Amino acid sequence: MCLCVPHLKGEARGKTKLTMSIKSVAAKLFAKKIYKKTQSWVVNPIATQNKVFLELIKEAKNTQFGIDHNFEQIKTTADFSKHVPVRDYEGLKPYIDKVVKGAENILWKGKPLYFAKTSGTTSGAKYIPLTKESMPYHIEAARNAILHYIHETGNADFVDGKMIFLQGSPILEKKNGLQFGRLSGIVAHFVPKYLQKNRMPSWETNCIEDWETKVNAIVEETFNENMSIISGIPSWVQMYFEKLQQKGGKPVGEIFKNFNLFIYGGVNYEPYRAKFENLIGRKVDSIELFPASEGFFAYQDSQKEKGMLLLLNAGIFYEFIRSDEFQNENSKRYTIGEVELNVNYVLIISTNAGLWAYNIGDTVQFVSLKPYRIVVSGRIKHYISAFGEHVIGKEVENALQEAIIGTDIRINEFTVAPQITPESGLPYHEWFIEFENEPKDSSAFAEAIDSAMRKQNMYYDDLIVGKVLQKVIVTKVAKNGFQDYMKSIGKLGGQNKIPRLSDNRNIVDLLKRK
């Protein structure tokens, strides 16, 4: 997943109050315009999605994929489900391989502009196409998230400060007439020159590959700047904040007095919130985004309402499969007008970058249907069901959050795995937690987590009641243990993140060796 934030126009400190006022007014006017434009499709969700669907089919009917899957015969979403099966990256790879080699009109008309390189499949690197039709939505969505914040809160003072996104290197590789790179690095090429004065770090620093070296350089560059927006995946922003605090000897909020907006994506912020407020020294507003190489799917459009607005007009046709039915043959594919609240769905997308009925691996739940707002509940491959409990990422995050409410416990990072063959006693779920502030009573803390899990997941509760499982066991991870683990597997920094849970002990066995 990538968090890509193009920045609004603004200068560093030193300008007159009048200039700042003009910029603030201009930003508010633009925000009002974008809000009204958004509402035009928000109030017509089903018609909007149907229009996107028909345009996608029309544009791709003469591609190799379109011919292979009878796009000429597809008139409805039911036709689409009949002719186009759900695939993950491995299923689509034969087509993608042809595009990577330079072939045209395979998944989408012509050739893609770029390939975003990501990792995580059984065959190694993934290459996700980005086209001239899909790229603008990656830029506009992040911009619109900020504009919705301005429209709702009236706060636009930050446009006069410096802004930073902790991202991957913008250096691109050229092969077969195509350009390859990290999505965040690709997006860096689309930031207009007149905005570069606000954007940090410098191009040279952004190109540093080694993450620790890069963060140290970013600290040096930004320490004396008027930082107003900071964005990135929370776990890696945390490293940046800790280094700032070490250098300055005071909270980040005192180093950057005008820092009042944190923009994040990739993981749930709640487990980090207490830690961040301690590092910053005060509360700041935040905006959650749901971007990925495959598309920009949603952003938080309100500080008052839960969830992120699903982007129904962004060149993406969405389908949803209930996660508890996903492994069934011919499981039903629901469209936007058929979804229900609080049901865990596997997200399936078809896009103007040439991904068709594509399973990105994320699961979502709808928290509102007017408008359609979602929360990311986890990864379809990241779950624990060693005993039939069907525990998902959202449940462990909620349980941990409930367990620390009203305490001074602060968490740096955590992951959960089953212990199926303990040396003695019943099996259990083992929580590996790196604490900033440890609980005064470890047993009570573990009991609070277990109680929260039982309230959320009836299958887990049944296993505890039936004495199939014992209650959770918390194992402390040494300071920087998760960073050391990520470094040991070559995934420190960038867009890489620790899975919240897994159905095996591959990760935690390596953690135990640290």
DSSP annotation string for 247-312:
HHSS-HHHHSTT--EEEEESS-SHHHHHHHHHHHSS--EEEEEEEETTEEEEE---SSSSSEEE-T
More confident residue, 381 or 93: 93
- Closest alpha carbon to 78 in 337, 316, 322: 337
Cβ(396)–Cβ(454) under 8 Å?
A: no
Token reading at 418: 């089953």
Give the best-scoring range by mean pLDDT among 341-350, 383-392, 461-470. Answer: 341-350
* Euclidean distance between CA atoms 210 and 357, whole angstroms: 36
- Burial class of 436 by CB neighbour count within 10 A (0 to 12, 13 to 18, 19+): middle
pLDDT band with cut points at 50, 70 and 90 for residue 9: very low
Cβ(64)–Cβ(106) under 8 Å?
A: yes
Distances (CA, A) of 18 to 24, 161, 273, 330: 10, 15, 35, 62
Determine the angle formed by the axes of helices 270-280 and 234-248, rounding to 10 degrees.
20
Token reading at 104: 């045209």
Range of lowest pLDDT (112-116, 267-271, 463-467): 267-271
Give the best-scoring range by mean pLDDT among 5-14, 110-119, 219-228, 479-488. Answer: 219-228
For residues 307-313, average pLDDT: 97
For residues 125-149, average pLDDT: 93
- Does position 340 have pLDDT exceeding 90, yes or no? yes
Q: Which tens digit of pLDDT belongs to each residue from 267-306?
A: 777 777 888 999 999 999 999 999 989 999 999 999 999 9
Q: Which tens digit of pLDDT belongs to each residue from 154-163?
A: 999 888 889 9
CA atoms within 13 A on the CB side of 178: 26
Phi-psi domain of 222 (left: phi exceeds 0; alpha: psi -120 through 50; beta: other):
alpha
pLDDT band with cut points at 50, 70 and 90 for residue 123: very low
pLDDT band with cut points at 50, 70 and 90 for residue 394: confident
pLDDT band with cut points at 50, 70 and 90 for residue 458: confident
The model's pTM is: 0.79
- pLDDT of amino acid 19: 47
Q: Which tens digit of pLDDT belongs to each residue from 164-222?
A: 988 778 889 998 889 998 887 888 787 755 456 788 888 899 888 887 888 899 999 99
Question: Is 337 in a helix, a strand, or coil?
Answer: helix
CA 331 to chain CA mean position, Å: 26
Q: Which tens digit of pLDDT belongs to each residue from 93-106?
A: 999 999 999 999 99
- Closest alpha carbon to 227 in 481, 454, 12: 12
- pLDDT of amino acid 319: 98
- Does position 450 have pLDDT exceeding 60, yes or no? yes
- pLDDT of amino acid 176: 87
Question: Is 434 in a helix, a strand, or coil?
Answer: strand
Question: Is 449 in a helix, a strand, or coil?
Answer: helix
Cβ(99)–Cβ(106) under 8 Å?
A: yes
* Euclidean distance between CA atoms 110 and 131, whole angstroms: 9
CA atoms within 13 A on the CB side of 248: 20
- Does position 234 have pLDDT exceeding 60, yes or no? yes
Q: Which domains does the chain have, with CATH numbers?
A: 1-381 (no CATH), 383-513 (3.30.300)
- pLDDT of amino acid 72: 96
pLDDT band with cut points at 50, 70 and 90 for residue 124: low
pLDDT band with cut points at 50, 70 and 90 for residue 18: very low
Given CA atoms 375, 381, 386, 387 in this order, what sign does their dihedral have?
Answer: positive
pLDDT band with cut points at 50, 70 and 90 for residue 453: very high
Range of lowest pLDDT (4-13, 32-41, 230-239, 449-458): 4-13
H or E segment and range at residue 173? strand 173-175
* Euclidean distance between CA atoms 408 and 420, whole angstroms: 32
Cβ(455)–Cβ(414) under 8 Å?
A: no
- pLDDT of amino acid 493: 63
Q: Which tens digit of pLDDT belongs to each residue from 53-67?
A: 999 999 999 999 999
- Residue 121 neighbours by CB under 8 Å, 6+ apart: 89, 90
Residues pairing with 93 in the sheet: none
Give the best-scoring range by mean pLDDT among 251-260, 272-281, 402-411. Answer: 251-260
pLDDT band with cut points at 50, 70 and 90 for residue 385: confident
